[in-house]
Amino acid sequence: MKHAEKELIAIKEEVSRMWTLVLSQLEKAKQAFFNNDVEQAREVVSREKRVNTFELKIDSDCENYIALYNPVAIDLRLVLSLIKISYTLERIGDFAEGIARHIVEDSCDAVTESLKDELELAVMFDTVIEMLSDSFTALDSENTRLSGKILAKDERIDAIYRNAIRKLAVYLRKEPAQIECGLKTMLILRKIERIGDHCSNIVEEIVFYIDAKVLKHKKNREPAA
């Protein structure tokens, strides 16, 4: 294997490690939310710095790679994709931290289990975790077959989110005293919905890298099989 290829694989492995960390942050944020586990939420907040460190390291490695190796073709597409994926993973890490901060800072018993169920929060959490995990598999296996499924999940998240906001509004009309908890819940819903969007962005980058196709800002984003 050529030296340049080894360097690029090393960056890809670094992105994989960042991915694993962000996935773990998201899973822990979910557990902290459902168990109202302040300690676990604190752990997510404190580990956010590690996510940021990964982003800086990957940025620097990619800059060096471009400057030193002048990549073209699939190598150029990969390095461009890795820069954007690492930026997007960092944003997802921020959202996981944001969710955890809600738990640490504003304990709110009013978000009952039944309300969580009604808003399908567990489904939303699980779906974005699947999206992030599946997109990792797509990059790791260099296979875009999963991309259509992942993008479809984002549509599902958007639909659940819109529905949840309507249900939350109905709930708050009945329980106006719970407005603070309601707003907190709305912010969490919004963060999960944005994580779904970011997972879609990651998939678009993977398709750009592997198939050299640009899905961004296209209505029909599903790549051809």
Partner 1 sequence: MIEAKNIDFYYGDFHALKNISMKMEAHTVTAFIGPSGCGKSTFLRLFNRMNDLIDATRLTGECRIDGADIYHKSVDVDELRKKVGMVFQKPNPFPKSVFENVAYGLRVGGMTDKNRIRQRVEAALTGAALWDEVKDKLKKSAFELSGGQQQRLCIARALAISPAILLMDEPASALDPVSTSKIEDLIHVLKKEYTLVIVTHNMQQAARVSDKTGFFMLGELVEFSDTKKMFLNPEKEETQNYLTGRFG
Binding site for partner 1 (CB under 8 A): 2, 4-5, 70-77, 212
The size of the chain, in residues, is 225
Alpha helices by DSSP H, 141-212: 147-174, 179-211
The H-or-E segment that residue 49 falls in is: helix 38-69
Q: How far is the CB of 70 from partner 1 (least distance, A)?
A: 5
Q: How far is the CB of 75 from partner 1 (least distance, A)?
A: 5
Q: For partner 1, which is the closer residue by CB, 7 or 90?
A: 7
Q: How far is CA 103 from CA 31, 181, 188, 192, in A?
A: 11, 11, 10, 15
Q: For partner 1, which is the closer residue by CB, 36 or 70?
A: 70
Q: For partner 1, which is the closer residue by CB, 57 or 77?
A: 77
Read off the tokens for 145.
């077959």
CA 123, CA 155: separation in Å to the nearest integer?
13
Q: How far is the CB of 71 from partner 1 (least distance, A)?
A: 7
- Residue 195 sits at the vertex; the CA angle it makes with 192 and 196, to the nearest 5 degrees, is 95
Q: For partner 1, which is the closer residue by CB, 65 or 161?
A: 65
Q: How far is the CB of 77 from partner 1 (least distance, A)?
A: 7
